[in-house]
Amino acid sequence: MTTPTQIPYDRRLSAHLSGPHETGLRAAGVWLVIPCYKVRDHIGQVIAGAPAWIEGIVCVDDACPQGTADFLEAQAQDPRVVIVRLPENQGVGGAVLAGYAEAARRGGRILVKVDGDDQMDLKFLPHLVAPILLGEADYTKGNRFTSLSHLASMPGLRVFGNAALSFAAKVSTGYWNVFDPTNGFTAIEASVARLVIEKRIARRYFFETDMLYHLGALRAVVRDVPMPARYGDEVSNLRIGGIIGPFVLRHLHNFVRRVFGQYFVRDFHVATLELLSGAALLAFGSAYALHWLAVRDPGQTASAGVVMAAALPVIIGVQLLLQSMNFDVVNVPTRPIHPYLRTLERIAGE
């Protein structure tokens, strides 16, 4: 249960938005959602850097021990700021979802999640918002891996860790076209946000990746936005050693759920047949080879027939599995769902 408290509260998108369909950012209904936990020293800078065309700023105090909500109320300098207090710490995911709900309730149409540690460069806000305004995406996110120069300030260990997580996320979410899944600088269309709020999304450090999994289940279009890494004097609450195991298990869990739901429940593709046949042939060939090794006489060599009986199913099985993976890669969602959802909302409101 949240208890929102409102504090007493231009540019054009770009030249190609001119003409009869001109869309100004000031009229786009863009709201910032800022989860606040141990960011008291930086939150003021983040709010001060919000462009004038931002309609509202939801700051979610996630039971912060530094009393961020009280601090913001005492400052009360930006009339756009709205505070949501969470009685118990719910993690970054819980805070963001609470912020989405509040911003959408107040009429926000594009909701941008920004961390409160001033690590995200707000000059990239138009880049995140533009694909959604143009109807080309339902969800956008930063990607720090589009250029080597963008990684200049990222520690080497983070580069390796984020790259590994990105490959795992491609498999578990089905978004083979996106990278840097843990990047928390994101934007989402409000009607899509209303749907994901209802899902059982991970509330803590797996939040961004689990969000992609649930967006994939909705067939939402996700687009990466190139931007550089940015680090200052903020202190991360993340402990790498404590999340590796849970991350691996969650990725495996989401992969199994995604494959079963996408290829066996909601639809039945040629990839389904390739997956079943490939797995069966690979299992048969491997089992046959292991069985022969277990029962053979000492020093006995395999005949050509034995080798082929084991190798051919394995080869064909691997090829079929690669074919099913290729189908999965090209099956990434390409048609945004938010125009459809918006139309349903308008019809329901009439």
Q: What is the pLDDT of residues 65-101, one digit of tens each?
A: 998 899 998 886 889 999 999 999 999 999 999 999 9
Listed in sequence order, the DSSP H helices in the chain are 40-48, 68-75, 91-105, 125-133, 156-173, 190-197, 207-217, 240-260, 270-295, 304-330, 338-349
At 80 the pLDDT is: 94
Taking residues 34-62, report their average pLDDT: 93
- Tell the burial category of 87 from Cβ atoms under 10 Å away from its Cβ (0-12, 13-18, 19+): exposed
Nearest to 93 by CA among 271, 245, 190, 212: 212
Q: Are 93 and 86 in contact (CB under 8 A)?
A: no
At 17 the pLDDT is: 42
Three-state secondary structure along 123-141? HHHHHHHHHHHCCCCCEEE
Query: What fold is seen in the domain 3-260?
Result: Spore Coat Polysaccharide Biosynthesis Protein SpsA; Chain A (3.90.550)
- Position 245 pLDDT exceeds 80: no
Domain extents in the chain: 3-260, 270-330
- Position 162 pLDDT exceeds 80: no
Say which range, 132-136, 235-239, 331-335, has the weakest mean pLDDT: 235-239
pLDDT per residue as tens digits for the range 165-181: 889 999 999 999 999 88
Taking residues 206-226, report their average pLDDT: 95
pLDDT per residue as tens digits for the range 324-337: 999 999 999 999 99
Q: Tokens 């931002």 — which residue? A: 54
Whole-angstrom Cα distance, residue 176 to residue 64?
36
What is the Cβ-side half-sphere exposure of residue 317, based on CA atoms within 13 angstroms?
Answer: 18
Phi-psi region of 92 (alpha: psi -120 to 50; beta: other; left: phi over 0): alpha
Pairing of strands 222-226, 81-85: unpaired
Confidence (pTM):
0.85
- Position 115 pLDDT exceeds 90: yes
- Position 239 pLDDT exceeds 60: no
